[in-house]
Amino acid sequence: MQLSTNFWQTKSLTEMNETEWEALCDGCGKCCYRKFIEGRGKKQRLYFTRIACNLLDLETGKCRNYSQRFKLESDCTKLTIRNLADFKWLPKTCAYRLLYENKPLFDWHPLISGNFNSVKQAGILIDNGIHEDDVIDWFDFIIE
Ligand code: SF4
């Protein structure tokens, strides 16, 4: 399947083909860092951490076994147009969230910059990540 010219501006998320949907991911890897929720109702708080899924390459932000990820990590979830509304915790820079909220992509997005390194150069990757297997107390690694 092909990428239509500027498809992220001309097509809605439901109109995109699979190749275009996959190309929206900027590869930041932020969705592969653990979050946890504390409390209930109005007191509920979402915490972001720098604790990564064990499959994540901490340097590149890429999954080290993308094709087998659902088998190897039971809580890895495929992001689709049908479940996108449930992913309110996606980072504010995430292309799926931006388009779902009718916002434009950032200039550093590879679809616009034409360069995958622009994500790293723009400081979007999480620094000092650590794998889940190496963590004892999650509270030591909260970043937000
Ligand atoms: S947060 Fe969004 S853009 Fe970043 S890796 Fe995850 S799906 Fe891709």
139 CA distance to ligand 1 centroid (A)?
A: 23
Instruction: Tell me the pLDDT of the chain averaged across its residues.
Output: 91
Residue 97 CA: which ligand 1 atom is closest? 2
Dump pLDDT digits (tens) for 124-141.
999 899 999 999 988 889
55 CA distance to ligand 1 centroid (A)?
A: 15
Dump pLDDT digits (tens) for 63-89.
999 999 999 999 898 889 888 887 778
Question: How many whole angstroms separate alpha carbon 135 and alpha carbon 50?
Answer: 10
Cα 109 from chain centroid (whole Å): 13
Per-residue pLDDT, averaged over 104-109, amounts to 98
Q: Kindly report the protein residue whose alpha carbon is nearest to atom 7 of ligand 1.
A: 25
More confident call, 31 vs 36: 31
pLDDT of residue 47: 87
44 CA distance to ligand 1 centroid (A)?
A: 24
Residue 140, exposed/middle/buried by CB under 10 A (0-12, 13-18, 19+)?
A: exposed
Question: How many whole angstroms separate alpha carbon 116 and alpha carbon 132?
Answer: 26
Q: Kindly report the protein residue whose alpha carbon is nearest to atom 2 of ligand 1.
A: 94
Percent of the chain with pLDDT over 70: 100
More confident call, 38 vs 23: 23
53 CA distance to ligand 1 centroid (A)?
A: 14
**β-pair partners for 84:** none
Q: For the chain, what's the residue count? A: 144
User: Is the pTM higher than 0.75?
Assistant: yes
Q: Kindly report the protein residue whose alpha carbon is nearest to atom 8 of ligand 1.
A: 25
In the 8-state DSSP scheme, what is residue 29? -
